[in-house]
Every structure is written in structure tokens, then in C-alpha cells.
């Protein structure tokens, strides 16, 4: 058997109750690493419980950026799944709707409030 190809997709959203600070720019800072761990865990939990769950490999938060005001932080993550021959192709629209439903209309991810128009 041949190994399935790994495919990536990006996830971007804005957290409205995580004030941005310069230590979130530095991947070596304790705050970046701690926030990255929490984001990865929340995204993994969310997507494992979705239609791509059986082929989902994980998400890696790659960047935090300032939002439109000082209480906001924009989050960029890259998620990976294995493109298995038996699995349906990635349905981005369907997955978006599942994520929307699991985040109360794109307003809540764990302890974080989301900008509902940012996903």
C-alpha cells in the first residue's frame, strides 16, 4: 500500500478577547508558545469532531497578528489531513458550516470570543 498524500489548508480567524501584544510576534516567547499550544488544541478538538475527523492530522498555529483594535488578535493556522483514496474530497463549504455550528455561529472557540465574520 502507498501512503496517502498529506494535504494542507489554512484557517484564519480573529479573536476579539485576546489583546495583541508584541510578544505574540516572537515564536520563541513563552506567551507565543503557550497561546499556540492552546490554539492547536482547540482547533484539533474542533476538527477531529467534524466530517474530516477520520483523515484529520492536526493544526499548527503559525502566526498571530494585530487585529483592527487593541483587544483583537488575528490567528493563522495550517491544518493537515491525509488524502485517502476511500475518503470524500475536502468539502470546504460543508466544513465551514460544521465549524460555524460548533463555534456558535463563529462566535466562540473555547474561552475565546471570535469575530463572526473573520473565518
Domain ranges of the chain: 5-113
Residue-wise pLDDT tens digits, 47-76: 999 999 999 999 999 999 999 998 999 999
**Dist. CA 119–CA 108, nearest whole Å:** 12
Nearest CA-CA partner of 9 in 85, 77, 68, 100: 77
End-to-end CA distance of the chain: 37
pLDDT score recorded for residue 88: 85
Q: Which CATH architecture has domain 5-113?
A: 2-Layer Sandwich (3.30)
The stretch 19-33 carries a mean pLDDT of 96
Alpha carbon 3 to chain centroid distance?
25
User: How large a percentage of the chain has pLDDT more than 70?
Assistant: 97
Whether the per-residue pLDDT at 3 is higher than 70: the answer is no
The stretch 73-92 carries a mean pLDDT of 93
Amino acid at each position: 500500500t502507498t501512503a496517502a498524500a498529506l494535504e494542507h489548508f489554512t484557517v484564519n480567524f480573529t479573536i476579539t478577547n485576546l489583546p495583541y501584544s508584541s510578544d505574540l510576534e516572537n515564536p520563541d516567547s513563552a506567551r507565543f508558545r503557550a497561546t499556540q499550544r492552546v490554539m492547536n488544541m482547540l482547533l484539533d478538538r474542533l476538527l477531529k469532531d467534524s466530517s474530516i475527523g477520520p483523515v484529520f492530522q492536526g493544526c499548527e498555529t503559525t502566526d498571530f497578528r494585530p487585529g483592527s483594535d487593541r483587544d483583537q488578535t488575528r490567528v493563522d493556522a495550517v491544518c493537515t489531513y491525509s488524502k485517502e483514496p476511500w475518503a470524500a474530497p475536502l468539502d470546504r463549504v460543508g466544513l465551514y458550516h460544521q465549524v460555524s455550528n460548533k463555534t456558535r455561529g463563529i462566535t466562540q472557540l473555547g474561552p475565546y470570543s471570535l469575530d463572526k465574520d473573520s473565518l
